[in-house]
A and B are shown apart, each in its own frame.
Chain A
């Protein structure tokens, strides 16, 4: 058997295996919308850990982490730090969100915003912004997957058929099993992924340089300064790293799909307990970087696409089965987060945009409707990935900066009784406008007095200031009392609960 056939065989095994596992929960029983979207709020510690932890290990961590190390050096190390502090934020935010979600039958992030501020318009706006940033994220997973399979098959299977096959499978198990399918496959993906990256991250430097330390010493001798900030870049310096760490740690739990996932927890204690052990997962972020640095020293001539550093090095050094293993793990790292993104995007679109904008209660039909939208969104993301692979890049770059603008509205909304609806509208609009303005005018990072700040961080600071000032100006005793009820109050009366349409 040739290398291609073995590599493809191994990948195929992973992809089909994961799909079958993902379909099982949906085949076993018929699901209501709540079971489909948030797993019936039944997830215990272990399942919840896997689904929350697994979300950080996407195509970006795998291909992007090694690619950044290869091309930029030191600035990459921020990836090692941000999740662990994000979990400190999560320790406070998630257990505050989940009980409100349970009491009021909330399923998505815009549901939460709409509930906190009693504003349908704000909910719709949040959903639109969310979809705008989720769709390119979904497309990125598709493109990453296509690249992986193309590399692993040594060009036999091209990108388009690869994406078509894999995403038909993803759509199938999301359609059938919803979040339970995602959780089941996330377990497989995480185990395979951890084993694969840890093995290659340690083996490849040892293969070439005797040890990980030997590789770094050789790199430091060849390129002095590359392993600190700003490393291989001009302006990604210490101030950039600090502002990026603030942005990404605060913004981490503002991704709409993570709100949905936290609603799946059985109790707030599950979320608290898991926040303790989530940082452990972060160590896996180091291994792709080790491969990226090794590739920089070993691969001649230099790569045109730095993101291919991991795959190229493995292909150069190891036989087909190893490439298949990496490819399979990488394919799952694209597919499983894509499944979760797909689920969330379809919920946001059907429940929070279409149903709320029409002002109709589609509770009864919306389980079917949301599932059909899954298929439509898959097709749309596929078409975008095939025909306009670069169109959404700008939007994607703004992803983290974009969703972090939810932070004042949601987090202060959960803890600060003076926060108001008008402040949320103004802060969010100002924040998103600044993000786009700075990104489109290539002002990221923004230089202020010799320091360089992440553009999203600048926008967040302004957004926060606007939010605080406007809240102080527009709060009334009535608004504060309503807010207290929204946070602490008991569940709605039966009549009210049908309008939110959870059960």
Chain B
């Protein structure tokens, strides 16, 4: 549980910040966007998914505590 929270917290940072040097290119263009822009747009669903996961874990934790 604890490990899952750590991974879900770190992953958006890894995706958005850590991968910048590797995503720094124009091609291939995806959905009409240069690759770098596409990669950073993807940080939106990535963060959303990870925060959703954190929220579910915390909700379950709150329920169990009750």
Q: How large is the interface on B (under 10, 10 to 19, 20 to 34, 35 or more residues)?
A: 20 to 34
Q: Is the CB of A85 within 8 A of B17?
A: yes
> Given contacts A216-B33, A229-B36, are A283 and B41 in contact (CB under 8 A)?
yes
Q: Which of A196-244 contact B (CB under 8 A)?
A: 211-214, 216-217, 220, 225, 227-229, 238, 241-242
Decide if the interface of chain B is mainly helix, strand, loop or mixed: helix
Closest chain B residue to A243, Cβ basis: B17
Q: How large is the interface on A (under 10, 10 to 19, 20 to 34, 35 or more residues)?
A: 35 or more
Q: Which chain B residues border A87 with CB–CB below 8 Å?
A: 47, 51
Residue of B12, B40, B48 with most chain A CB atoms under a 10 A cut-off: B40
Number of A-B contacts defined by CB within 8 Å? 109
Q: Is the CB of B29 within 8 A of A80?
A: no
Once the chains are docked, how many angstroms separate the CA of A220 from the CA of B25?
11
Nearest Cβ on chain B to A242's Cβ, whole angstroms: 5
Q: Which of B21-66 contact A (CB under 8 A)?
A: 21, 24-26, 29, 31-34, 36-37, 40-41, 43-48, 50-52, 54-55, 58
Nearest Cβ on chain A to B15's Cβ, whole angstroms: 9
Q: Which chain A residues border B43 with CB–CB below 8 Å?
A: 80-81, 84-85, 279
Once the chains are docked, how many angstroms separate the CA of A216 from the CA of B21?
21
Q: Is the CB of A74 within 8 A of B51?
A: no
Once the chains are docked, how many angstroms separate the CA of A212 from the CA of B25?
17
Q: Is the CB of A276 within 8 A of B37?
A: no
A498 at the B interface (CB under 8 A): no
Q: Is the CB of A220 within 8 A of B26?
A: yes
Q: Residues 244-286 of chain A: 1 if any B CB is under 8 Å from the residue's CB, otherwise 0? A: 0110010000000000000000000000110111011011001
Closest chain B residue to A211, Cβ basis: B32
> Given contacts A77-B40, A228-B36, A238-B20, are A276 and B48 in contact (CB under 8 A)?
yes
Q: Is the CB of B17 within 8 A of A280?
A: no
Decide if the interface of chain A is mainly helix, strand, loop or mixed: helix
Nearest Cβ on chain B to A219's Cβ, whole angstroms: 9
Once the chains are docked, how many angstroms separate the CA of A168 from the CA of B50?
43
Q: Is the CB of A84 within 8 A of B46?
A: yes
Q: Which chain A residues border B18 with CB–CB below 8 Å?
A: 242
> Given contacts A88-B50, A272-B55, are A77 and B44 in contact (CB under 8 A)?
no
Once the chains are docked, how many angstroms separate the CA of A217 from the CA of B55?
40
Nearest Cβ on chain A to B66's Cβ, whole angstroms: 13
Q: Which chain A residues border B24 with CB–CB below 8 Å?
A: 74, 228-229, 238
Q: Is the CB of A279 within 8 A of B48?
A: yes
User: Which residues of A are in contact with B by a Cβ distance under 8 Å?
Assistant: 74, 77-78, 80-82, 84-85, 87-88, 91-92, 211-214, 216-217, 220, 225, 227-229, 238, 241-242, 245-246, 249, 272-273, 275-277, 279-280, 282-283, 286, 289
What are 10 residue pairs bridging A and B, where the CB atoms are less than 8 Å apart in the complex? Answer: A74-B36, A80-B43, A84-B44, A88-B12, A213-B31, A216-B26, A228-B24, A242-B18, A276-B48, A283-B41
Q: Closest 3 interchain pairs by CB? A: A213-B32, A84-B47, A80-B40
